[in-house]
């Protein structure tokens, strides 16, 4: 649905503006499994496509 995609894009834009993507990818190294799983969910839900720099979330995680 276009409205849902538009809302999703707004969330991604806001997270990118405040450095949220980098913060969430940093949480992939967290020692608590629940935090790691939450970070993985956020990345797969909101950043599965290319981010503003053209990198996919998977590329960013591997850096």
Is the model's pTM score more than 0.85?
no
Say if residue 56's pLDDT is above 80: no
pLDDT in tens, 23-36: 999 999 999 999 99
Distance CA 63, CA 4 (A): 30
Contact 40, 27 (CB under 8 A): no
Residue 51 has pLDDT above 60, yes or no: no
The tokens for 53 are 């720099």
Give the total number of structural domains in the chain. Answer: 1
Q: What long-range pairs does 15-19 form, CB within 8 A, spacing at least 24? A: 15/46, 16/51, 16/52
φ, ψ of residue 56 to 5 degrees: the values are -80, 165
Domain with 27, as residue range(s), is 2-62
């Amino acid at each position: 649905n276009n409205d849902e995609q538009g809302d999703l894009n707004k969330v991604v834009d806001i997270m990118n503006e405040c450095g949220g993507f980098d913060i969430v990818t940093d949480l992939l190294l967290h020692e608590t499994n629940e935090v790691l799983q939450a970070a993985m969910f956020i990345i797969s839900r909101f950043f599965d496509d290319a981010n503003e720099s053209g990198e996919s979330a998977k590329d960013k995680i591997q850096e």
